[in-house]
Amino acid sequence: MNGMELPDFHIPHAEKIEWMIETDGWALEPVPPSSGTEPPTPAYAYTIGVSDLVGFPDIAVFGLTPAAANGLIGLVVDALRGGTEIPLGVELIGLLDNELRCLFAPIDLEQHGPAFETAAAWYRGERHDMVQMLYPDRNGFMPYETGFEQRLRLAQPVIGTLPS
């Protein structure tokens, strides 16, 4: 812990997360987009409690509505609950519909921790892991590939660490 102060954790919000974790085993924290940063921060969402539930890092996904992020992450959590092993830093086929690829890239929380303040508060500063779920554009290109749709680059920035 680098002496970073945890945000003031509003009790109703904590209760909402607790309720989601009690109900589903995990919670989704949607973060609205912000134009006050350079570059602008896209909308994103991340889980809290996935590691306690299935021993897999919490999952962040960028560029989707909260409902779409919830559906996508729900698929992943259900697969993990069913015993599917999901490796990190490896392109996977078969997890998403239509044989689309996806990849789970570890996020360096030293660098990107402020983006996940609610998780830090929830875990009370205990170490927790977070991965970014990367998914393709409608042409099947991943965000780290040359052909990826240019206007989506801001919507789905790659903050996870890719295999070299």
Tokens matching residue 127: 């170490």
Name the domain count of the chain.
1
Q: Would you say residue 78 lies in a domain? A: yes
Does 142 map to a domain? yes
What stretch of H or E contains 52?
Answer: helix 50-54
pTM of the model: 0.88
Query: Does residue 90 sit within a domain?
Result: yes
- In this prediction, residues 114-143 reach a mean pLDDT of 92
Question: Per the domain annotation, does 120 fall within a domain?
Answer: yes
Q: What is the per-residue pLDDT for 67?
A: 93
Per-residue pLDDT tens for 50-82? 999 999 999 999 999 999 999 999 999 999 999
In a domain, 81, yes or no: yes
66 domain-assigned? yes
Any domain includes 5: no
Distance (Å, rounded) from C-alpha 116 to C-alpha 129?
A: 11
Q: How far is CA 42 from the centre of its chain?
A: 13
Distance of CA 129 to the CA centre of its chain: 11
Instruction: Please report the pLDDT score of residue 94 as a whole number.
Output: 85
Inform me whether the pLDDT recorded for 3 exceeds 70: no
Share of the chain above pLDDT 70, in %: 93
Pairing of strands 92-93, 130-134: unpaired
Range(s) of the domain holding residue 16: 11-152
Q: Look at residue 6 and tell me if it is in a domain.
A: no
Mean pLDDT of 14-33: 90
**pLDDT for 45 beyond 80:** yes
